[in-house]
Structure 1
Amino acid sequence: MTATVNQLIGDLSLARSEAIKRGIAVTLCKTEDGAGCATGSEWHKGWMIFVDNNVNRQIDDGETIIKIEQPLDALALNFAGALNHDRYVTYKPAGMVEPNGTFTFCDNRGTDKAKAIILLGTGRPRVSSVSSSNGPLTCS
């Protein structure tokens, strides 16, 4: 689980740095096929990072795909974003993120061994074993 948490931390940091470097929004979204953002799948089925020229949080013709991650083995990964946004994370050119929220990683060991990546508006991810409100993590 630690390696996968670090993988997502790296991808969030990559998206943030690309947004700052390029001076344009960069979105990370869940995907099932590596060709478009998914609405119904879970994050453990894979995700992609792309330059989001029009900030519509969907990959469009002419937008550059930066990275595609393959499905995770034996892990569940969910994202609970502010205002019920759970499909994407978008970094702005100043490095800020929307929405803020929590990625939760779970495996067959249950809630006691769950890990979280918490994103605040500043865009810097942090790893935690509790929720953003210091409560227990939940696995679904």
Structure 2
Amino acid sequence: MICRLERYAAQGSTVPGRSRRRQRAFTLIELMVTIAVLAVLMGIAIPSFSEFSLSSRLRSYGTSLVASAQLARSEAIKRNRDVTLCMSANGTSCANSGSWEQGWIVLQGATVIHQQQSLAAGYRVTAVDDVTSIAFRPSGVGATQTTLRICRASPSAGSQERVVTISATGRTSVEKTTDGSCPSA
């Protein structure tokens, strides 16, 4: 038996069936340091993600409004008739009251060409000159010239905005601003 134990000792093992390998684990201090580092990284990442999310949603709404205006203009040219882009709460007719964030439609006569759903809660679309509809002539020229501002109603995550401009020629453009002056409803 002693010869066997000497042989195991020479091989690096002290007892038959057991190895000298030690179990490894995190100590409480290592775990606390790791959690502290993760907390700092999350504190940095969450505001950045919130700013990115805000920017993405504003970009989406601005692009949607520009696309609707371009669709109205091209349909006016194609149909050789006046086409209107107007705010609409029900998606079937133009609204004379309310605001653009309730949604909008592209309308030719009584035919709805395109409908945009309402914006998410907390976002606002305001016309600089309180325009409720934008008309496009058969030549593609805009009968209404306006500027629409898309912003966060309470800009806690940032002061980004999108400003959509529709010129007298019917051309549309969108610009990112950081004005932070979202007008109240």
TM-score bin, normalised by smaller chain = 0.7 to 0.9
Q: What's 1:60 paired with? A: none
Paired residue total: 122
Q: Please, which of 92, 104, 123 is the counterpart of residue 75 of structure 1?
A: 123
Q: What's 2:176 paired with? A: 129
Change (3 A) 1:124 1:137: farther
Instruction: Give every structure 1 segment of 4 or more consecutive aligned residues whose post-TM-superposition deviation is greater than 3 Å.
Output: none
Q: Give the conservation status (yes or no) of the 8 Å contact 1:30–1:87.
A: yes
Q: What's 1:59 paired with? A: none
Counterpart residue type for residue 120 of structure 1: S
SS at match of 2:159: helix
Counterpart residue type for residue 69 of structure 2: L
Q: Give the conservation status (yes or no) of the 8 Å contact 1:104–1:137.
A: no
Residues 74-133 of structure 1, C-alpha deviation per residue, up to 9 Å, x if partnerless?
31001124xx5x110001011111210101001132783111001110111011235xxx
Where structure 1 has 5 or more consecutive residues not aligned to the other structure, the ranges are 53-62, 131-135
Q: Which one has the bigger helix percentage?
A: 2
The structural deviation recorded for 1:137 is 7.0
SS at match of 1:4: helix
2:163 paired with 1:116: yes
Counterpart residue type for residue 133 of structure 2: Y
Q: Structure 1 length as normaliser, TM-score?
A: 0.79
If asked which structure has higher relative contact order (CA below 8 Å, sep 6+), I would say 1
- The higher radius of gyration belongs to 2
Where structure 2 has 5 or more consecutive residues not aligned to the other structure, the ranges are 1-57
- State how far apart, in whole Å, the 1-side matches of 2:175 and 2:79 are: 30
Q: Structure 2 length as normaliser, TM-score?
A: 0.61
Q: Which one has the bigger strand percentage?
A: 1
